[in-house]
Amino acid sequence: MKNDLYIDQGYISLNKAGEQLCGDCVVFNSNEDTTICVLADGLGSGVKANILATLTSRILATMSAGGMSVEDCVDAIVRTLPECNVRKIAYSTFTIIKIKNQRYVELTRFDNPHTIVLHGGKNYKFEYSTRMIEGKKIYESHFQASEGDVLVVTSDGAIFAGIGYEYPFGWERKSIIQYLENHYSKEMTARQIAQNLAGECNRLYRGKPGDDTTIAVMRICKRYTANVMIGPPSSKNLDEVMTGEFFAQDGAKIVCGGTTNKIAARYLHTEVEASLDYGDSDLPPLYYVTGVDLSTEAVVTISKVLDYAKEYLSGQQLIDPWEGHTDGASRIAQELFDRATDINFFVGCAMNPAHQNPQLNLAFGAKFQLIDRLSKSLEKMGKKVTVKFY
C-alpha cells in the first residue's frame, strides 16, 4: 500500500543579541523511508558555538541516516568533540528525531529541552527511558505517530525567554505547551508553527534574545503535488507532448511565460487573458487561463521566487515576505514552499530571443540555471522534485 503521508519540516533560529552567528544548528536528512531532524546547541555562543553545533548536527544526521545505532552516534560525537576543558561540561547538546515510514518515531535527546508532541492539537504525553552512553545520560522514546501530529524541538533559548521580564524563571515547558495548543491550526505548516513560537520567544526577550533560540518542527501531513510548466519546447512538434503530459498530472498546475501560456491555452481550447493588475509588486502581472491554477511571467518572476527560497532556507525569517501577497512570485512561493510536497517541472528548451538582450543581463541558459537552483533549494526544504526537459 502506497504511503500518502509526508513529513513537513521547518525551523527558525534567533541569534543571541550582538552575535552574527547562531550557536544552534538544525539539519534535516532523509532517505527512502526515513526522515531525520537533528537540533544541536553548541556550548556558549558565537563562532565557537556555531562550529560545535554545526559539526554535531551534521555528524549525527549523516550517521543516523546511514542506519548507525545511538551508541555509535554518541560515541562518534564524544570522540570527535571532547568536552570543554574549562567548564568540564558537554560541548554540545542535541536532539535527534527519526521518523520511519511517516509513522514510527524514534526520539533521542541529550540535555536539550524535552520535545513537545501535539496530537489533534493537544499535548501528547509519551513515555521515555534513560541510559548512560559514554558517560552521557541519554533519553529515548519510541512511539507511533499519525496524520496531523506535530513534533516541536527547541534549544534552551526558548525556555530562558522572558527571564527578568514576564517570567522570573523563564518560559516553562507547560507554558510553551499551552501557547502551542492555543495557537494550533491544522492548516499551519511546520515552518509557520516554528515562526509563531520563535516570534513569541523574541517578544518575551523584547527583541534582544539573551541566548541563541531555535525552534525545529516536523509535521505529518498528506502529500500535495504542484506541477510547473515553463518555456516552450525546442520544437513545435513537442507542444502537444509537453502539455499533454503536464495536464495529465494530479495536483496544482502553474504555467510560467507568455508563449507557454498560449501553448497551454491552445491545448485547453481557450484563450489567454492578460491582467493589468500589478498588485503591490513591481513584477509582471498575472495571466488568466481557464484550466490553469496560476499563470505568470517566466524568468523575472522565477528569479524572485529563487530570492525568496534563499530567505526561506536562511531559517531566520519570522515573517515571510511572500505571505499575504498576490503577485506571481509570492503566489508561486506560497504554492511551492507552503503547500507542495512533490513538485514536477516541465521545462521547454526553445531559445527565447528576449533573453539575449544585454540590457536584461540574461543569457540563453538563464532559465535552466534558475530551474536548477530552484530545484536544489526545494530539495533542501525537503520537497521531492523532478525535472523533465522538452
Of 48-62, 88-102, 275-289, which has the strongest mean pLDDT? 48-62
Q: Which of 221, 249, 284 is the last residue of a domain?
A: 221
Q: Are residues 20 and 156 in the same domain?
A: yes
Q: Are residues 266 and 384 in the same domain?
A: yes
Question: In this predicted model, which residue has the larger pLDDT, 358 or 367?
Answer: 367
Specify the CATH number for the domain of residue 99. Answer: 3.60.40.10
Q: Are residues 236 and 125 in the same domain?
A: no
Per the structure, the count of domains in the chain is 2
Q: Are residues 207 and 242 in the same domain?
A: no
**What integer best gives the mean pLDDT of the chain?**
92
119: three-class secondary structure by DSSP: strand
Within a 13 Å sphere around the CA of 187, how many CA atoms are in the beta-carbon half? 0
Kindly report whether the global pTM for this prediction surpasses the value 0.85.
Answer: yes
**Could you tell me how far CA 288 lies from the centroid of its own chain?**
29
What is the percent of the chain with per-residue pLDDT over 70, rounded to a whole number? Answer: 93
Q: Are residues 290 and 370 in the same domain?
A: yes
Q: Are residues 30 and 162 in the same domain?
A: yes
The DSSP output letter for 134 is T
Termini Cα distance of the chain: 33
Name the least confident of 77-86, 94-103, 126-135, 376-385. 77-86
Query: Is residue 290 within a helix (H) or strand (E), and if so which, with residue range?
Result: none
Give me the residue label for grid cell 568540564.
88
Q: Are residues 258 and 369 in the same domain?
A: yes
The full 3-state SS of 220-262, as one line of letters, equals EEECCEEEEEECCCCCHHHHHHHHHHHHCCCCEEEEECHHHHH
Q: Which of 221, 248, 280 is the last residue of a domain?
A: 221
> Does pLDDT of 295 surpass 70?
yes
342: three-class secondary structure by DSSP: strand
Q: Are residues 80 and 154 in the same domain?
A: yes
Q: Are residues 201 and 283 in the same domain?
A: no
Q: Are residues 206 and 286 in the same domain?
A: no
Which pLDDT tens digit goes with each residue over 305-331? 999 999 999 999 999 999 999 999 999
Check residue 353 and give its pLDDT.
56
Which pLDDT tens digit goes with each residue over 124-145? 999 999 999 988 899 999 999 9
Q: Provide the Cα torsion 67, 71, 73, 78; round to 10°.
A: -170
Nearest to 270, CA basis, from 304, 247, 297, 241: 247
Q: Are residues 265 and 159 in the same domain?
A: no
> Does pLDDT of 357 surpass 80?
no
Work out the number of other CB atoms within 10 angstroms of the CB of residue 169: 10
Which pLDDT tens digit goes with each residue over 175-187? 999 999 999 999 9
Tell how strand 129-133 and strand 252-256 pair up: unpaired
Residue 375's Cβ-count burial label (10 Å; 0-12, 13-18, 19+) is middle
Check residue 375 and give its pLDDT.
98
Within a 13 Å sphere around the CA of 97, how many CA atoms are in the beta-carbon half? 29
Confidence tier at 1 by pLDDT (50, 70, 90): very low
Q: Which of 171, 199, 221 is the last residue of a domain?
A: 221
Check residue 77 and give its pLDDT.
86
Check residue 196 and give its pLDDT.
98
> Does pLDDT of 230 surpass 80?
yes
Check residue 367 and give its pLDDT.
83
Give the domain extent around 131.
Answer: 5-221
> Does pLDDT of 360 surpass 60?
no
Q: Are residues 211 and 231 in the same domain?
A: no
Q: Report in angstroms the alpha-carbon separations of 11 from 70, 85, 114, 216, 328.
A: 24, 31, 17, 4, 25
Check residue 279 and give its pLDDT.
64
Confidence tier at 251 by pLDDT (50, 70, 90): very high
Check residue 214 and give its pLDDT.
98
